[in-house]
Amino acid sequence: MPKKHLEYSNGSSNKFWQIERSGKTQTVTYGRAGTDGRTITREFDTLESAKASFDRLVEQKLSKGYV
């Protein structure tokens, strides 16, 4: 069950983004640090498409400065 937790701090911005994949289900939680944030769960048709989406979203966040 892959899971990735990233944070972003810049000036007054202090937020988190977390993704977790279990089989074909992907759950993303995001928001301001110190809050529960918002959660979105998505079901994919295939395991391969779930893996590809997981990798793509992590790369997007890293390119935006999340660590």
Q: What is the 3-state secondary structure (H, E, C) of 3-63?
A: EEEEEEEECCEEEEEEEEEECCEEEEEEEECCCCCEEEEEECCCHHHHHHHHHHHHHHHHH
How many structural domains does the chain have? 1
> Tens of pLDDT along 27-55?
999 999 999 999 999 999 999 999 999 99
Cα 39 from Cα 12, distance rounded (Å): 23
φ, ψ of residue 27 to 5 degrees: the values are -120, 125
Q: Tell me, what CATH number does 51's domain have?
A: 2.20.140.10
In a domain, 65, yes or no: no
Q: Which domain holds residue 17?
A: 3-60
Under a CB-based contact definition with an 8 Å cutoff, are residues 57 and 36 in contact?
Answer: no
> In this structure, is residue 12 part of a structural domain?
yes
The pLDDT value given to residue 1: 80
pTM as predicted: 0.90
